Structure 1
Amino acid sequence: MKTVLITGATAGIGAASARAFAHAGWRVIGTGRRADRLRDLQEELGAYFLPLSVDMQDRAGLESLAKLEGEWSGVDCLINNAGLAPPMADLQDSEWDKLQTVIDTNVTGLVALTRALLPKLIASQGSIINLSSVAATYPYKGGAVYGATKAFVRQFSLMLRNDLAGTGVRVTSIEPGMAETEFTLVRNGGDQAASDALYDGIDPMTPEDLAETILWVASRPPHLNINALELMPTRQNWAGFATNRKA
């Protein structure tokens, strides 16, 4: 039986992925900050789900995930899903502490965990699936730091493939567009109306859409690597160039 480790398994794409992999016969290690939600997921999925409350900003906690023993000692797939965005704001109007949290979570924590688990992933000739975003490619006003962290994730994924050449480990960057999760609710400080307005009439992707895609990537034969995969709802596309006319 294969084992997958999913960060940010407490909601959205992470929780949906935990369900998809468990139903496909994988052992699932789910991490996140909200222990109560992880326990709920364990009650739902049973003995093949291991809940571990770990913050992506806690390097020691992340590195401890590489020291699990017994039936949970091996890792065949790492899904770096945990991430967040600061409130939409021009950089000059942003709050540093919130930017630092995003960088520490989306970049530093992701790299620390990946590095710690590489010996296990090399031993299993497993796979690494990193959740980037279309924001890595298409810039928008108020998203400088978030988009930059996701561009890092995309480039890190591509460069990591070079470091792992010959090991059999596969690396994929998944780059979703609009998916209706708690992501926007958190970004808007819990403003449900603002979150609902963003997705109104869009028919956005669902966490289950992304989870099915992630499981598909992880289930490809060992000789096939999906380098990067960009997904958008049909009603979303990239905007045209912005102009600022002089008075």
Structure 2
Amino acid sequence: MKRVMILGVGAGFGLALARQFGRQGAAVVMVARNALKLQDYQDQLADEGITATWQAADATDFVQLAQLFKDENEIDTLIYNVGITTPDDPIHTDPHDMEARLRANVTSAVAACQSFLATAHPETILITGGGAALHPSPVTTSLAMSKAALRSYTLALHTAAAAQGVYVGLMTIQGIANVGPEMAPDRVAAAYVTAAQQRSAAEIFYPGGVPSKTSEFDQLKQLAADPQQRAALLAAHPEFAKYQKYLK
């Protein structure tokens, strides 16, 4: 790992990925839409002695993606961590909203991988999947659809890219950030570092090493059923407050 690009950097897993790969000595390029936040992340990492740069780009804009990989032609590791996880349902969700989520969660990953594979020396691709791919739900319809499609694409790419000497791994994340010790962002990010070093498995199930019997959403509902755990959950994830009707 010499130069790692992370597409989809936020304050949770994305920043943790930048931190963990930076600690391994990689030069990290962080990509997201918000330049102000990216600059803040760069400053945070610099305070920790980690060198990182950033590029503001929208992964759903294929023109911007193509230009991004022209500007960053020396990347050897790509991490696709973009995803829309908003709950929805199969009856009332507007098809245009579903289409936008599929574009962000799947088609943009295809565009990013194809652009990356055309750069100077691609070596490794890690793609963030999710347990929702294995657990369709009427309240996470487009998430389950898109993660299932992303899983199918990534496993196909694993085989196809191997012929070019490129390792592709699907990181199937089976939990919610900061809910339990295993889901601490730095621990999740460490699993990506291990996958990039080992360069073997087509799919890595984290945590547990095997497919979970319950989806992330079911885990969330189980936690929310207990008033104390529900309060702690909403304190850790205030953004979940607007989804409370799904947790009953």
Coarse TM-score class (shorter-chain normalised): 0.7 to 0.9
Higher-RCO chain (CA-CA 8 Å, sequence separation at least 6): 1
The whole-number CA distance in structure 2 between the counterparts of 1:140 and 1:89 is 9
2:186 corresponds to which residue? 208
Query: So what's the TM-score if we normalise by structure 1?
Result: 0.77
Pick aligned residue for 1:48 from 42, 47, 51:
51
Q: Does 1:167 align with 2:160?
A: no
Give aligned pairs, total.
211
Q: SS of the residue aligned with 1:132? A: strand
Give deviations 1:77-125, integer Å, cap 9, x for gaps. Answer: 1000111123x232112133432321111112111111111022xx535
1:37 corresponds to which residue? 37
1:113 corresponds to which residue? 112
The structural deviation recorded for 1:212 is 0.4
Q: Which moved more, 1:95-104 or 1:166-175?
A: 95-104
Q: SS of the residue aligned with 1:219? A: helix
1:229 corresponds to which residue? 204
Q: Which moved more, 1:127-136 or 1:9-18?
A: 9-18
User: What is the identity, as a one-letter code, of the residue corresponding to 2:150?
Assistant: V
The whole-number CA distance in structure 2 between the counterparts of 1:125 and 1:78 is 8
CA contact (8 A) 1:56 1:104 kept: no
The structural deviation recorded for 1:33 is 1.3
The whole-number CA distance in structure 1 between the counterparts of 2:28 and 2:92 is 40
Give deviations 1:12-55, integer Å, cap 9, x for gaps. Answer: 11110001111211011110112111001111234831111111
The structural deviation recorded for 1:157 is 1.1
Quote the RMSD (CA, aligned, Å): 2.4
Gaps of 5+ in 2: 216-248
1:193 corresponds to which residue? none
The structural deviation recorded for 1:239 is 4.4
User: What is the identity, as a one-letter code, of the residue corresponding to 2:11?
Assistant: A
The whole-number CA distance in structure 1 between the counterparts of 2:93 and 2:73 is 42
Q: Does 1:155 align with 2:130?
A: no
Distance 1:204 1:98, change over 3 A: farther
Query: So what's the TM-score if we normalise by structure 2?
Result: 0.77
Gaps of 5+ in 1: 182-198, 241-247
